[in-house]
């Protein structure tokens, strides 16, 4: 879940989320609630909580010919700010300890990856 807060501007509530993009840079994005400040704080807080749960940061375009192993490392950094610490730890152990070494040795690019490659990985 990304960080966020409510901001009052021109008599209305705005939701402001803070996150790190795929390159690791800190970003801030504003979203209007359409709610006037008066008597709407609880509604705005509920909207903010939903936005924080569902917000997915913009992803940078993938490089042409990127190896699947490199893609998995990028993916891991993209999802890091949106998942629980324990989930990230589990994903990190699987990606860095098992998936990346296997697919790096094979040299398979993301565009060349086939279902049979994944099935072979599971079987080994």
Whether residue 44 sits in one domain with residue 72: no
Whether residue 118 sits in one domain with residue 75: yes
Whole-number pLDDT of residue 55: 87
Q: Is 61 among the domain residues?
A: no
Whether residue 100 sits in one domain with residue 74: yes
Whether residue 48 sits in one domain with residue 8: yes
Q: Is 77 among the domain residues?
A: yes
Residue 107 sits in which domain range? 68-123
Whole-number pLDDT of residue 59: 63
The mean pLDDT values, 10 residues at a time, for the chain of 124 residues are 91 92 79 95 95 80 79 90 90 96 94 93 92
Q: Is 75 among the domain residues?
A: yes
What is the 3-class SS of 41-71, one letter each residue?
HHHHHHHHHHHHHHCCCCCCCCCCCCEHHHH
């Amino acid at each position: 879940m990304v960080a966020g807060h409510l901001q009052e501007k021109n008599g209305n509530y705005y939701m402001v989320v803070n996150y790190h993009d795929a390159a690791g840079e800190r970003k801030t994005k504003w979203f209007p609630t359409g709610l006037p400040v008066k008597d709407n704080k609880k509604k705005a807080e509920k909207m903010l909580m939903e936005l924080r749960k569902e917000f997915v940061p913009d992803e940078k375009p993938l490089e042409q010919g990127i190896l699947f192993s490199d893609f998995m490392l990028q993916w891991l950094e993209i999802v890091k700010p949106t998942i629980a610490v324990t989930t990230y730890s589990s994903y990190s152990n699987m990606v860095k300890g098992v998936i990346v070494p296997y697919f790096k040795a094979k040299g398979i690019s993301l565009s060349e990856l086939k279902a049979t490659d994944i099935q072979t990985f599971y079987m080994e």
